Amino acid sequence: MLKLLTAEKNLNDPILGSRSLNALGFWPARIRTAHALTALRTRLWWRDRSAIGRAVRRDGFAMVPDFLPLPDFKRLRNMALRVLDDVAAHDPVPDRRASGFAPKTLYPWGFDRCEGGTLGRFVILNRLTDDRDRDIAASILDDPRLHEASLAIVGRRVRHRHFWINRTCHGGTADAHDPQKDLHRDTFTPTVKFWLFLEDVRDENGPFMYVPGSHRLNETRYRWEIRRIEEALRHPRGSRASAFRVSPQERDALGLSAPKAFTVPANTLVIANTFGFHRRGDATPGAFRLAIFGTNRPSPFLPL
């Protein structure tokens, strides 16, 4: 029962996916309570009211070019490339050509995750053992602007264990569909994702895409959430989706615009509230994207 007080969203779970509980108003109450407590927590802890925080509150995302001083950025990028090369020497990048999500492949340094033909390699930033590398990583781990934006979205700072060096390798889509390239929201409550891009992101690299303003839980969006949960619960347990996809027609009915593509130069930070609708952009097969990536997904029901 403790999972009721977490951010867990798995509708295949016998409790969270209980049609009887939902008939009693469980999911409507859970969504409203999660958003109300998150809003209260952000009012209490988001104090600086900086530009980056105001942007994520208004639009659901913020973009900061020239995020780090150039010497710090170059050191961070060179360190990330060297670490990825070292990892690949021991654990070569796998090949996978199957649609949908695959389980993570865990390593001492992090994990690989395949989503269709797309591979994400994630190296945990705070597990670096070289003192020089740890000093370089501190330039992003402790940047107050990043934590300020997270406070504005979820009322919590980002923990160091939630930062990764991330290389995204795009495969073909003909027989290995990447579900992250469908417009979706991550879960039923505000959450944080961010990227400090270490190389230029062009259309062929599969840029992050986001629908401005789609992070707001207005009445129309609330009804959409409830309808999608009810539809999912009608499916047999084991086949219920939880990160709901949204069609262009549904997006239009919600009064939302087309997604914005973040084609940005290197050293740009992009941070977003992923209760908003977003996707990984289409990419040229074989293209890469390199970033320091992070998440913050605390339970919305935690004490203030």
Other Cβ atoms within 10 Å of 19 Cβ, number: 11
For residue 53, the surrounding DSSP H or E stretch is: helix 51-59
pLDDT at 46: 92
Cβ–Cβ under 8 Å, residues 217 and 33:
no
CB 87 within 8 A of CB 109: yes
Right CATH for 2-296 from 3.40.1000.10, 3.40.50.1100, 2.30.30.40, 2.60.120.620: 2.60.120.620
Indicate if the alpha-carbon torsion angle 30, 31, 35, 36 is positive or negative. Answer: negative
Taking only the tens place, the pLDDT of each residue in 181-230 is: 999 999 999 999 999 999 999 999 999 999 999 999 999 999 999 999 99
Average pLDDT over residues 277-284: 97
**Beta carbons within 10 angstroms of residue 279's beta carbon:** 22
Condensed to tens digits (0 to 9), the pLDDT of residues 49-95 reads 889 999 999 999 999 999 999 999 999 999 999 999 999 999 998 87
Hey, CA dihedral for 6, 4, 184, 50, is it positive or negative? Answer: negative
Helices and strands in the chain, H and E counts: 8, 11
The per-residue pLDDT for 238 is: 67
